[in-house]
Amino acid sequence: MMNVPFYSLDYVNRDLGLSLGDSIDAVVKSNWFIRGSRCALFEEAFADLCGKKACVGVGNGLDALTLMLKASIILGRISTGDEVIVPANTFVATVLAVRAAGLVPVLVEPNSETCNLDVAQLPAACSARTRAILAVHLYGRLADMPAICEFARAHGMLVFEDAAQAHGASGESYSSNAAAYSFYPTKNLGAMGDGGAVVTDDIELARVVRSLGNYGSIEKYVNQYVGVNSRLDEIQAAILQAKLPHLDAWNRRRQEIAARYCAEIKNPLVRITPVPANPKSHVWHVFPVFCETRDDLQKFLKGRGVETLIHYPIPPHRQEAFSGALSRGELRYGPLPITEKLAKTELSIPMGPSMIDEQVSYVIESLNNYAH
Ligand SMILES: *Cc1c(COP(=O)(O)O)cnc(C)c1O
């Protein structure tokens, strides 16, 4: 019996122990904790990594999503009450952000193979009020962005990305209006607290997001917008800066593990989503498997010391927070059988750069030994 944690932060942080301590010390010695040079340096480095002109650090991923949408309203690119297409199977924050910005989420069924937004579903999902698409790179797999952007362009819509699970994923080139990231500690690039960022080629949008996150103010004590307080602090920025050079190697290790899982998990009771044609377009934030007897499989794996999680057991439209939202017109969706099936059958197995080959083999062997 071997214990395989779902994800070990200990390794990621211990690996960098010394430099992280030094990074934090330097901030402490500087006595400057908010809106300083470390945040600016990290923003520049992260924009570079994303191949974008601007990055604005904010307090967390939910705020990054919300402020990106609010800034687009302020700039007159979309209007309050407009509809935004969102995949129905996502983390609840995607939907919360659209609501928080005063927009109406239209939940759309995913492709059951990729679990991402299904471009074939877009035409039927649109109404005269639909003005934007918010794609989610769920599990770390880039959504079909070239096709989504082409559809949006043809219909005069904006395209946003929830990239909270896809730091460092790269694919065919495409141009969205902006992408929102989270640096929650267990994301592929994680802080030691909350953090987030909006990344964009749109300098105006970046300026408004920065202002919104700072009380609606760029110049001290002059308030242009009704903003909030949502900023990436200096300690988190210094930690992210220290981790950033390792992101690529960590993602490559995730891709290696995923390639083994895809090739070696051979159990008719366990369905996997294959490696995409371009392996770099998937950074495997989690490795999902699908099983009709999911809860039984989870118990079986737990008995063998293999820790798993479910992403996500209750889809957003089934959450109490949104009960009545459909009839009030605050949310729009039709039947969502694929989304509900995914929520009933998904199980995320151990994944992360800390996994050693023996652990990967043990997880594979455990899954292959599962019978019902
Ligand atoms: C983590 C996550 C968020 C929210 O990020 P926080 O920093 O926790 O607010 C949003 N969307 C997705 C898909 C996520 O995985």
Q: What is the 3-state secondary structure (H, E, C) of the chain?
A: CCCECCCCHHHHHHHCHHHHHHHHHHHHHHCCCCCCHHHHHHHHHHHHHHCCCEEEEECCHHHHHHHHHHHHHHCCCCCCCCEEEEECCCCHHHHHHHHHCCCEEEEECECCCCCCECHHHHHHHCCCCEEEEEEECHHHECCCHHHHHHHHHHCCCEEEEECCCCCCCCCCCCCCCEEEEECCCCCCCCCCCCCEEEEECCHHHHHHHHHHCECCCCCCCCCCCCCCECCCCHHHHHHHHHHHHHHHHHHHHHHHHHHHHHHHCCCCCCEECCCCCCHHHECCCCEEEECCCHHHHHHHHHHCCECCECCCCCCHHHCHHHCCCCCCCCCECCCCHHHHHHHHHEEEECCCCCCCHHHHHHHHHHHHCCCC
Give the residue from 34, 86, 42 showing the smallest Cα distance to 65.
Answer: 86
Residue nearest to atom 4 of ligand 1 (CA): 61
Same domain, 250 and 157: no
Tell me what the mean pLDDT of segment 201-226 comes to. Answer: 96
Mean pLDDT is lowest, of 5-19, 91-105, 177-191, 262-276, for 5-19
Average pLDDT over residues 211-215: 98
Domain ranges, residue 90: 10-245
Q: Report d(CA 106, CA 88) in Å as an integer.
A: 8
Same domain, yes or no, for 45 and 136?
yes
pLDDT digit string (tens) for 91-129? 999 999 999 999 999 999 999 999 999 999 999 999 999
Is 124 contained in some domain?
yes
Cβ 289 under 6 angstroms from ligand 1: no
- Does 312 lie in the same domain as 279? yes
Task: Provide mean pLDDT across the span 277-288.
Answer: 97
Does the CB atom of residue 162 touch ligand 1 within 6 A?
yes
What is the average pLDDT across 241-246? 94
The reply to whether 218 and 359 lie within a common domain is no
Q: Which atom of ligand 1 is nearest to the CA of 93?
A: 10
End-of-domain residue from the set 245, 265, 290: 245
Q: Pick from 162, 189, 233 the residue to mutate for probing ligand 1's pocket: most ligand atoms within 8 Å of its CB.
A: 162
pLDDT in tens, 19-41: 788 899 999 999 999 999 999 99
Question: In terms of domains, do 255 and 148 share one?
Answer: no
Separation of CA 368 and ligand 1 centre (Å): 32
Q: What mean pLDDT is predicted for residues 83-88? A: 98
Percentage, residues of the chain above pLDDT 70: 99
**Over residues 167-192, mean pLDDT:** 96
Q: Is the pLDDT of residue 12 over 80?
A: no
Query: From ligand 1's centre to the CA of 163, what distance in Å?
Result: 9
Residue 3 lies in a domain: no
Distance 67 CA to ligand 1 centre (A): 14
Give me the number of domains the chain comprises. Answer: 2
| Among protein residues, the one whose CA lies closest to atom 14 of ligand 1 | 164
**Residue at 4 is within a domain:** no
Q: Is the CB of 89 under 6 A from ligand 1?
A: no
Residue 309 sits in a domain of what CATH number? 3.90.1150.10
- Tell me if 94 CB under 6 Å of ligand 1: yes
The model's pLDDT over 145-157, given as tens digits with 9 standing for 90+, comes to 999 999 999 999 9
CA-closest candidate to residue 257, choices 287, 227, 216: 287
| 198 CB within 6 A, ligand 1 | no
Domain boundary among 226, 245, 264: 245
Residue 122 lies in a domain: yes
Q: Say whether both 229 and 317 belong to one domain.
A: no
Q: Would you place residue 372 in the very low, low, confident or very high pLDDT band (cuts 50, 70, 90)?
A: confident
Tokens matching residue 275: 């490696």
User: Sorting pLDDT into bands at 50, 70 and 90, what band is 17?
Assistant: low
Q: Does the Cβ of 184 fall within 6 Å of ligand 1?
A: yes
**CA-proximal residue: ligand 1, atom 6 (nearest):** 61
Q: Per-residue pLDDT tens for 29-80?
A: 999 999 999 999 999 999 999 999 999 999 999 999 999 999 999 999 999 9
Of the residues 245, 275, 310, which one is the last residue of a structural domain? 245
Half-sphere exposure of 231 (CA within 13 A, CB side): 19
**Domain harbouring 236, CATH code:** 3.40.640.10
Read off the pLDDT band of 289 (50, 70, 90).
Answer: very high
Shared domain for 357 and 271, answered yes or no, is yes
Nearest CA to 331 out of 341, 342, 321, 346 is that of: 321
CA 307 vs CA 9, 99, 187: distances in Å: 14, 34, 17
Q: Please tell me the predicted confidence (pLDDT) of residue 314.
A: 98
Q: Considering Cα of 296, then 297, then 298, then 302, what sign does the dihedral take?
A: positive
CB 136 near ligand 1, within 6 Å: yes
Is 57 close to ligand 1, i.e. is its CB under 6 Å away? no
Task: Tell me whether residue 25 is in a domain.
Answer: yes
In a shared domain, residues 101 and 219: yes
- 285 and 177, same domain (yes or no): no
Mean pLDDT of 290-311: 98
In a domain, 278, yes or no: yes
Same domain, 51 and 143: yes
Task: Say whether both 113 and 135 belong to one domain.
Answer: yes
Is the pLDDT reported for residue 171 higher than 80?
A: yes
Indicate the pLDDT class of residue 1, thresholds 50, 70 and 90.
Answer: confident
Residue 1 located in a structural domain? no
Within this chain, do residues 278 and 316 fall inside the same structural domain, yes or no? Answer: yes
pLDDT for 10: 77
Q: What is the mean pLDDT of residues 201-213?
A: 98
Decide if 295 is inside a domain: yes
pLDDT at 271 over 70: yes
Whether the pTM exceeds 0.85: the reply is yes
